[in-house]
Amino acid sequence: MAKRTIEDLNVKGKTVLVRVDFNVPHKNGTVTDDTRIRAALPTINYLTSHGAKVILFSHLGKIKTEEDKAKNDMSIVAEALAGLQSAPVKFVNATRGAELEDAVHGLKEGEILLMQNTRYEPGETKNDPELAKYWASLADLYVEDAFGSVHRAHASTVGVPALLPNAGGYLIAKELKYLGKALDDPARPFVAVLGGAKVSDKIGVIDNLLEKADKVIAGGAMAYTFIAAKGYGVGTSLVETDKIEDAKKFIAKGGDKLILPVDTVITDNLDNPTRIETVDCDKMPEGMMGVDIGPKTIALFTKALEGAHTVFWNGPMGVFEKEEFAAGTKGICAAVAALPDCMSVIGGGDSASAAKKFGYADKFTHISTGGGASLEYMEGKQLPGIAVLSDKA
């Protein structure tokens, strides 16, 4: 059933606690990529323009030490947010206590308060009921708009919305629209492209998409586990030996539906290569590692994508951060971008970074803001931060 959205709430004059995903890249006290902040603006702007008093909260980075706290101070995000929209933004360097409560009580309609990093609170990642109750006491309503965090049962994503009238924001609605369409009602042919480092990260996804998709393309470093499963040598390539049996099962289950690389770019050293060659996947020499799909594989994958009306892509085809090993990932970007009448969805993470880096971001129908959440969704798992939201009446 469809989830309630912010337009189903009466927000005028109400204090609305909004879980956003402001877990942004930053360096030397400056946000280096504001994509996630921009993704939250439609929800924030709707609330401020409709007379809500808006409290934003989010995590930033992993907090284990005092040094982590200093490095992941949310004040840098407040500065970036203030530069992106016109409503006043107040930052409070607290996650609880009198300073925060006074600031909340002083909020006027159309104003925004950003509180400090939720992970400064040890109870956040444990979904501590006392913490959830405290945060819920600050507001009248809750809006979930942090798709990148809804696969985690934390206090801010599950505990608080269980205690307040709630709804999903515009970003959540957009994510569910496109991921839901791809998984549950795809225009066919539906082709899934999976890459990245590890089979272990995607076992459930591969299994589910072999059922749901018409073709599943597997590239990236995880492909070497499949190549090893076929009995070929893989040199020093990244291989999960404990997942070779799983790979064999997927090869048997997938049959012609599972499309694997036929050639690969290899090198003697990832950081300081003295040899870079392309060989067939059944002829990889000892002492060399696979770092990208080869030209024959790019052609094979491009052919497999022809005519697709739905594409889901998660995971690069190689070490795309290095120009000499980026051809495979660029090739996939170009192939998907060229498809007519196709709904193309990138499942966040490195694939999204690659599409932006190579200038193809605007050629995809939707780029998810949540790599882990999108993968769990495509695996068919229930996302706790979505499950807790109220259904439409």
Whole-number Cα distances in Å, 328 to 149, 212, 221, 224: 30, 25, 12, 15
Active-site pick, 249, 372, 380, 381: 372
Q: Is 372 a catalytic residue?
A: yes
Q: Is 148 a catalytic residue?
A: no
Q: Could you tell me which of 96, 106, 99, 101 has the C-alpha nearest to residue 130?
A: 96
Residue 242 and residue 199 in contact, taking contact as beta carbons nearer than 8 Å? no
Do residues 138 and 105 make contact, with C-beta atoms less than 8 angstroms apart? Answer: no
Active site residue 349: yes
Do β-strands 190-194 and 215-218 pair in parallel, antiparallel, or remain unpaired? parallel
Asked whether the beta carbons of 182 and 310 are under 8 A apart, the reply is: yes
Q: Edge-to-edge strands of the sheet including 263-267?
A: 276-280, 263-267, 289-293
Indicate if 318 belongs to the active site. no
Cα–Cα distance, 98 to 77 (Å, whole number)? 22
CB proximity list for 362: less than 8 A, separation 6 or greater? none
Decide: helix, strand or coil at residue 347. coil
Choose, from 71, 133, 198, 230, the residue flagged as catalytic: 198
Biggest alpha carbon distance in the chain? 69
Strands (E) in the chain, as ranges, are 15-19, 26-27, 30-31, 53-57, 89-92, 112-115, 141-144, 166-168, 190-194, 215-218, 258-259, 263-267, 276-280, 289-293, 310-314, 343-346, 366-367
> Could you tell me which residues come within 8 angstroms of residue 183 by beta carbon, excluding any fewer than 6 positions away?
212, 312, 377, 378, 380
CA dist 169 and 150 (Å) reads 12
- Residues taking part in catalysis: 36, 198, 349, 372
